[in-house]
Chains A and B, each alone.
Chain A
Amino acid sequence: MTESLILFQVIISLFLGGALLGLSLRNNRFARHVIFGSSMIGSVFTILFSIGIITGKPMTWMIPNVIPFFDLEIFVDGIAAFFLLLIGLVSFAVSVYSIGYSKEYHDKKRIKALGFLFNVFILSMVLVVASNNAFFFLLFWEVMSLTSFFLVIYDHDKEENLKSGMTYLVMTHLGTAFIFSSFLLCYIQTGSFSFDAFRQGSTGFPLFVKNIVFVFAFIGFGTKAGMVPLHVWLPKAHPSAPSNVSALMSAVMIKIGIYGMIRTIFDFSGFGTSPDFAWWGMLLVAFGSASAIIGVLYAVVERDIKRALAFSSIENIGIILIGLGLSVVFASFQLTTFAVLALVASMYHTINHAVFKGLLFMGAGSVVSVTHTKNIEHLGGLVKQMPWTSLLFLIGAISISGLPPFNGFISEWFTMQSLLSSYHIPSTILQISIAFASLPFALTIGIAAATFVKLFGMTFLAKSRSKYAINIKEVPRSMILGMSSLAVICILFGVVPYLGTSLITTAFHMSSQPSSPFDSIVIQNSSGTSFANLSMPVVVIMISSISIAIFGFIRALGGNTKKTKYGTWDCGFGSLNERMEYTPTSLSQPIRAVFKVFFKPHNKTEKESFGENPYLLKTIKIETAIKNVFEELLYTPIVSSFVFFFDKVRRLQTGKVNAYLLYIMITLVLLLLFVRLSNNA
């Protein structure tokens, strides 16, 4: 207890120290090491601290009246510790990576600002998760939003980044407003801002209040998580930030939204195990499947490597929400076993996504830092020039595509099993709806694999398609090291799922299975026989022994044969060059064509031919663009109606003193009337 408290204080002081040192040091190599070194050590302590809490007891810490009337309450239980672990793991890797990465900003920008914001950003996330009081939760939440906003506009010379920053700022405050309202409702009901009071009081809330609290929290935290249709900020803000920050934002910050949802659903809004709450789960499943499929569809046609990764974050948040929603549905019908299964699926995917998205964003950052372009149309052929980055990026890509034996497969397997378990729900309409939700889910997984074939293949394989991708060097060692630490976790959590499941079940105080690393995960059906089994360590042993056996077999059968290097087959025409290769746009063209209802692509072709013959072309120019449905149909009308309305409001401010006197007069009369009328009543 006291040890964890001391550890917690050490964590806070390390991040604060890093931030303050960042402000005071000069711009040099030493500063880089100190700033990111201190956040690295802070992250290591965060990992140790959270493991201590998960395996031990929760920690409470209270300083009364820090700000008059508000007590700073810190409470770290298993759930919070799970998310702290996630923050610690990713920020450790990102801090190591940043030591090398921030060199790029040496001459151009002030590393001081980056270091300060970086440390404060991580610290604010730690404190949001740890706070046990609505006031401080919102305070740290705001710090988190603002520091990330400043990090998004860190490259402020580009106007595009400023625009994305503004979108982010508006959207995140919209979300905060909803969270605030949700907490305010709890405050009105309980008379206290403490989460402890919410916890105890929430069971007694009337049903409609519980529902409103949930819906507000769902919208508010959903905005932070990047749920469709509140996702518009995410694909703008994440690519604009420096890549190390994008990694933190995409891997960790959006998970804080998931944390908030779990807190409000399972902790305070008086979630009872009654079918009255099944619709909460269905709402989550519905928005989750929409996010998953819409996110991945935009990701697969995207050419900007970082924006594609950002869209894929929306997709993965969707998968997490599907698992969470199923868990709520199962819990509301008191199917505890399956509620645990679905929650494990959702949390497993949460930690997986944090790990591989962090890895992929850092990989993308490495590519961008050496090639100076985010457009994969201009890349290609990096696998030989950047062997380490490409290997690590490939590990991330395989993991996120949900392929065995990497970690993405495990969480997607759990989610699929949760979807299949929906046949236990005693309601036909819910069963069929969940079955229908599994269609977008499965489609998402299929398209996600295609997305990462494209991202990896087009960035790293074949010939370089432009001057950006020639004569480049591998990134510094610290960057490789940062990425490798997450790649190792990708493999560990894939090969030994026991690590993940036992972590989650201990953190959430649920009965755990499998009971040892080599046990198989078993899901039983109603007749007691096994519904599904999975034992990844054995699968990996099988794959590797088969590989060795077949290598020997082929060798024995065919003997020793030579390998000759020769040019790729060019149909005998000679001189295959990079302009004949498939480009990212042409690679995803079939998918764009199949989903044309969604993308609404508009193509423009301009041809110039020799003389009369339309087939002898001198030049041909093709333009293709897709429509962003959400921005054009949802946000643009809202924004323009606001602009229209406030344009009208502006006329009130005429600038004439007489007019303002009139306003004062009118207000006074109205107030007097109001007082008079309310006294009568």
Chain B
Amino acid sequence: MPSGTMIIIGLVQVLVILGLAPLLTGMIRKTKARTQKRIGASIFQPYYDLLKLVRKDEVVSDQASWIFRVCPWVNFAAMATAAFFIPVFLVYTPFGMVGDLLLVVGLFALGRFFTMLAGLDVASSFGGLGSSREMMISALLEPALFLSIFVVAITYGGTNLSTMIGASSNTSFLPHPQILFAAIGLFIIILGETGRLPFDNPATHLELTMVHETMILEYSGKSLALMEWSQSIKQIILFTLMVNIFVPWGISSSILISSLAVGFLTFIGKISLFGIFVAISESSVAKWRLFRIPDLISIAIATSMIGIVLCYL
């Protein structure tokens, strides 16, 4: 059994993820605004939005069934549960023995399953459109994600995230060539999973471009707040995984206050830099045509396959 301190640190890591998720979204939006020569909203804007939304009354479609109503709660519960398994600033999380990276992927899929159903539930063609596109994208992202997990798990000896990040933090700079390939693959997947350009444009409400937004179009008030928040949590989880697996340096490996503080600060630094990097790269590409997206995903699959071959050679 893990000690009390460990459990407390574990819970703090969860709260960091849940609490900082909207901030990351705010930072990405701010950076994007700046690259477009706009001042942009404050980086705390997503918090104000959430606060405003939970206080608003809701309008629910008269076509909607209970699936539509439970979807935000399922989504949030799935994403928040996933957050428990992610080491943030300490290489270890006491909840690591409850679930592994594959469970995290499964929880994401659970959220997405309900979101797709909710999109269909309201009987509008918008919702169907989003679900239809999401069906294709998620069906293709799943194997890409599994293959890049395959590379990382075999290299670092586990799908258990504590084992994985513990092993990666003990290594010097890019010790295994396959990790580079897995990183490229995972980066593309993260863009797809979080609905960023060139997969999906989170800033528009235009039927030609949107995927995720169409499915949640009918939501308002508390439900919308939950959907938005869980999307940000998913984003910060994926970003955390990316930085902690591939750039683990600075992460704390002991529970001394000083090293925890260093770990926390480097985590904030790394994740902000990664967020800014994503925002800038997003500003420099256009939305791709829907049927070109499979090409991009196949690049992710191919690089992961190269990674696997390199593992064994």
Which A residues fall within an 8 A CB radius of B? Answer: 300, 381, 383-384, 394, 398, 401-404, 409, 413, 416-417, 419-420, 423, 428, 431-432, 435-436, 438-443, 445-447, 449-450, 452-454, 456-458, 460-463, 520, 522, 525-527, 529-535, 538-539, 542-544, 546-547, 550-551, 554, 557-559, 561-570, 576, 578, 580-582, 586-591, 593-594
Contact = CB atoms under 8 A, between A and B. Distances in A.
B55 A420 contact: no
B102 A582 contact: no
A557 B122 CA distance: 27
Contacts of B16: none
B147 A588 contact: no
B240 interface: no
B61 A566 contact: yes
A273 B140 CA distance: 37
Given A413-B106, A436-B305, A594-B136, A543 B97 contact: no
B99 A539 contact: yes
B76 A550 contact: yes
- The list of the 10 closest CB pairs from A to B, nearest first, reads A582-B128, A446-B142, A558-B54, A442-B143, A590-B136, A442-B146, A457-B120, A446-B139, A462-B123, A450-B135
Nearest to A531: B158
B132 A527 contact: no
Interface in B2-53: 51, 53
A539 B158 CA distance: 19
Interface in B41-83: 51, 53-63, 65-67, 73, 76-78, 80-81
Interface of B: 51, 53-63, 65-67, 73, 76-78, 80-81, 84, 95-100, 102-103, 106-107, 109-110, 112-113, 116-117, 120-129, 131-133, 135-136, 138-143, 145-147, 150, 153-154, 157-160, 162-163, 217-218, 221-222, 225-226, 290-291, 294, 301, 305, 308-309, 311-313
B136 A450 contact: yes
A657 to B, nearest CB: 67
Contact of A435 (B140, B226, B290, B308): B308
Nearest to B66: A383
A402 B108 CA distance: 12
B55 A561 contact: yes
Given A533-B98, A551-B73, A590 B225 contact: no
B163 A453 contact: no
B124 to A, nearest CB: 5
Given A423-B154, A532-B160, A564 B128 contact: no
Given A450-B138, A550-B73, A587-B132, A416 B218 contact: no
A157 B123 CA distance: 37
Contact of A582 (B73, B131, B138, B313): B131
Nearest to B128: A582
- If over half of A's interface residues share one DSSP class (helix, strand or loop), that class is named, otherwise mixed; here it is helix
A462 to B, nearest CB: 4
User: Main secondary structure on chain B at its contact with chain A?
Assistant: helix
B132 A588 contact: yes
Given A449-B139, A582-B128, A589-B132, A563 B58 contact: yes
A567 B312 contact: no
B62 A568 contact: yes
A531 B98 contact: no
Given A457-B131, A568-B63, A594-B294, A535 B311 contact: no
20 contacts: A402-B106, A440-B143, A443-B143, A445-B143, A463-B63, A529-B160, A533-B160, A534-B100, A543-B81, A546-B80, A546-B81, A551-B73, A554-B222, A558-B55, A561-B221, A569-B218, A580-B125, A581-B125, A582-B129, A582-B132
B123 A581 contact: yes
B158 A443 contact: no
Q: Which of A452, A453, A535, A578 has the most CB of B within 10 A?
A: A453
Nearest to B217: A569
Which of A413, A546, A578: most chain B CB closer than 10 A?
A: A546
Contact of A413 (B78, B103, B150): B103
Given A442-B145, A568-B62, 20 more contacts: A420-B153, A435-B305, A449-B138, A456-B117, A461-B120, A461-B123, A520-B97, A532-B102, A532-B160, A533-B99, A554-B225, A557-B51, A561-B58, A563-B58, A564-B59, A564-B60, A567-B61, A568-B63, A587-B131, A589-B132
Contact of A446 (B123, B143, B294, B305): B143
Given A446-B143, A520-B98, A461 B117 contact: yes
Nearest to B62: A565
B77 A533 contact: no
Contacts of B103: 404, 413, 534, 539
User: Which of A384, A461, A522, A547 counts the most B-chain CB atoms under 10 A from its CB?
Assistant: A461
